[in-house]
Every structure is written in structure tokens, then in C-alpha cells.
Amino acid sequence: MILIVKPGSTKKDLDKLLNELHGQNFKTHLSIGDNTTIVGLVGDTSLLDVNEMRANPMIMDVKRVSEPYKRANRKFNNTDTVIDINGIKIGGGYFGVIAGPCSVESEKQILLIAENIKKSGANILRGGAFKPRTSPYAFQGLEGKGIEYLEKAKGKYNLPIITEIMDISDIDCFTNVDIIQVGARNMQNFRLLKKLGKQNKPILLKRGLSSTIEELLMSAEYIMSEGNNNVILCERGIRTFETSTRNTLDISAVPVLKKLTHLPVVVDPSHSGGRAYLVPALSKAAIAAGADGIMIEVHNNPPKALSDGAQSLTMEEFDTLMVTLRKYVELEKKVISINK
């Protein structure tokens, strides 16, 4: 960490600052220029808060040099994390294909979709039961009932299931869920993250609409700091000024994250674009950029979907798309593991 000293500070002030820092067990290196004096701080600065340091009247500005996350940091653990979900693997050369409807709507619906996406080559079934909706007047999901239907599909088609949690008080419903999803709007619901850190099942953590890559990693760190290292990161589009897409898929986040962390990175092309016609191009781009998996919304009848129909593929469209995607996965020398 670099501290830039306020111009006009006296020698005495500076000594006082240095003494304080030494008292906190930091070593310091001083660099005195004509206009600017800089203090380099050596030691474990991950516990320091940049904003607190700035409050010191001696300090004009603070610049962080090393990342504030540790467990998620590739620097301290250079082996790709491979998440194993009952035999289905994601990360380290294994590519996950998560597919299913935005919302579970009925037992019949989810069984039909599960059967079809499995045939097409998906290896994990998604479906929303607890739905975060902008409007209190919109369909809020089948809740516990929805998860029951997912479990039936899981049993019948041997597909691990993933669904979103909105409140830790619902955790009992998630006993047979294989991956718990944290949605974009809850990425900084720190109390929820901490509690999920005490679960021993994989967490798929979606990036918030306006969260930086570093903040996403800090949220992963919340989960990991409680002991759960099975975190999958998910890029799902950020909010920008552009309105021709629902969100702006930050495709660069994939190679940036692969460099900074050993955790697997999945892309959600459905929420990023918000329109079904964009899903093929964005899915291919995600694979080509190095993603460890994709998460695609597939519906038996998109125009009648109870949520997010505009961005859902039909089961036929998904089947056709998978033919192409497999070629891209192969070109990246990755494997889609399948449970028979």
C-alpha cells in the first residue's frame, strides 16, 4: 500500500505517522520528491481499509498495490479449483452446461425440460423457485414447491440441480439442491454470504449489476472465509449506458478473473443480453474467452413463460445450439462431463 503524504506536512508530522504505522507492525519506505512525499507500506495490508487510511489528515491519497482478497487469489493458490457436483465437474478443463427455465412453473414443465436439455447435452438443471422480481406485483416463484419439482427431475434424469436462494430462512428447502445460487442483487448481502460459507455445498455467485471484478472476488472471499471454498463465479452482464441489450456482457471479465483467481468462471448469456437471438453469439464468445461453463435459459414455451420469456431459448433452439457449442468447447480442449 502506498500513502501519499499531504503537501506541507512537517518532519514532525511525518515522524508521527511513521511511528503509528510501525506500531501496527508495518515496515515503511520513504520516498521524498520535490512536490510529493510517498510512504510505501510493507506487511499484510489486506486488513487495511483504503477509506480509513484516507481519513488521516497527514494522508492525501492511498493506493493499493496488492489485492485485498486472499483465499480466492491465484497468487496464493495457482491450482485451478475443480468443483465436483456428484460426478459433474466444473473448472480445470471441465466445462459445465447449466440449462433450464427461468422459473419452475409445474412438475410437468420441469420434467419435460429436464428430459430435453439432458438429451441435448446439458449436464446441470437450473430452475428458479424463489424469484427476485423488481415489481411486488409480479410472479414470485413456486418457492418450496418449485424445489420439490426440481428434485423429481433430478431423480428421474440424474441431473444435478441449481436454484437461487434469497433468504437464509429458506435454507431447509435446499437440502437436496446441488448448487446454491446467489443472485446479482444479493452479491453484497454479506450476512447471506457468511451463512452460505458455513454450508458444505457449491455456491454459484453472480456478479452484481454494478459490481467491480474486485468486489465479486471480495464477496467470494466472504463465503470462503467461513470455510466453504466451493465457489463458482458467474458473469451475467453489468449495467452501462447502452440500452439495446438488457445488460452489457463484460466478456473481458472472463480472462481477467482467470488470471486473478483459481475459481471457475461461468457466463450467463441469457441475462446478459436479455434477448433470445443474442444467446448463440454470446455463448460462443463465452467459451472462446475461456469460460468454464455457461448457464442458459431454456423454456418449453417462451411466450407463455411466467418470467424472462424474452431471453429463453426453445428446447429445439437449445438442441441446435449445443451442436455448435460442442465444437467450440472442443477447440478450447475442454470436456463436458456427463452422468449416465
- Kindly state whether residue 286 participates in binding a second copy, applying the rule CB under 8 A: yes
Q: Helix, strand or coil for residue 156? A: helix
Q: What's the sign of the alpha-carbon dihedral 189, 190, 195, 200? A: positive
- Kindly state whether residue 8 participates in binding a second copy, applying the rule CB under 8 A: no
Cβ of residue 70: shortest distance to a second copy, in angstroms?
9
Q: Given candidates 227, 281, 316, 323, which one binds a second copy under the rule CB under 8 A? A: 281
Name the phi and psi angles at 226, rounded to 5: -95, 0
Considering only residues 216 to 245 of the shown chain, the ones binding a second copy according to CB under 8 A are 218, 221-222, 225-226, 238-245
184 vs 192: CA distance, rounded Å: 13
Considering only residues 157 to 196 of the shown chain, the ones binding a second copy according to CB under 8 A are 166-169, 185-186, 188-192, 194
- Kindly state whether residue 278 participates in binding a second copy, applying the rule CB under 8 A: yes
> Given the complex with a second copy, which of 157 and 328 has the nearer CB atom?
328
> What is the total count of residues that contact a second copy (CB under 8 A)?
111
- Edge to edge, the sheet with strand 37-42 lists 27-32, 37-42, 2-5, 59-63
Considering only residues 32 to 71 of the shown chain, the ones binding a second copy according to CB under 8 A are 32-36, 38, 40, 42-43, 46-47, 49, 51-57, 61, 63, 65-66, 68
- Kindly state whether residue 27 participates in binding a second copy, applying the rule CB under 8 A: yes
> Given the complex with a second copy, which of 27 and 119 has the nearer CB atom?
27
Binding segment for a second copy (CB under 8 A), chosen from 81-89, 91-99, 130-138, 147-155, is 130-138
Distance of CA 154 to the CA centre of its chain: 23
- Kindly state whether residue 313 participates in binding a second copy, applying the rule CB under 8 A: no
Q: Given candidates 74, 275, 320, 339, which one binds a second copy under the rule CB under 8 A? A: 275
Closest of 261, 201, 322 to residue 76, by C-alpha: 261
What does 196-229 look like in DSSP terms, one character per residue?
HTTSSS-EEEEPPTT--HHHHHHHHHHHHTTT--
Q: Given candidates 202, 312, 317, 321, which one binds a second copy under the rule CB under 8 A? A: 312
38 vs 32: CA distance, rounded Å: 6
HSE, CB side, 13 Å, CA atoms: give it for residue 292: 26
Binding segment for a second copy (CB under 8 A), chosen from 92-100, 107-115, 119-127, 214-222, is 214-222
Angle, to 10 degrees, between the axis of helix 315-331 and the axis of helix 279-289? Answer: 20
- Kindly state whether residue 109 participates in binding a second copy, applying the rule CB under 8 A: no
- Kindly state whether residue 15 participates in binding a second copy, applying the rule CB under 8 A: no
**Please, which residues bridge with residue 98 across strands?**
124, 295
Residue matched to cell numbers 472442443: 330
302 vs 325: CA distance, rounded Å: 21
> Given the complex with a second copy, which of 195 and 201 has the nearer CB atom?
195
Q: Given candidates 7, 12, 25, 333, which one binds a second copy under the rule CB under 8 A? A: 7
Q: In this structure, what C-alpha cell is assigned to residue 155? A: 431423480
Q: Helix, strand or coil for residue 280? A: helix
Cβ of residue 292: shortest distance to a second copy, in angstroms?
13
> Given the complex with a second copy, which of 35 and 175 has the nearer CB atom?
35
Residue matched to cell numbers 463465479: 233
Say which amino acid occupies 15: D
Cβ of residue 156: shortest distance to a second copy, in angstroms?
27
> Given the complex with a second copy, which of 124 and 313 has the nearer CB atom?
313
Q: Given candidates 161, 196, 287, 298, which one binds a second copy under the rule CB under 8 A? A: 287
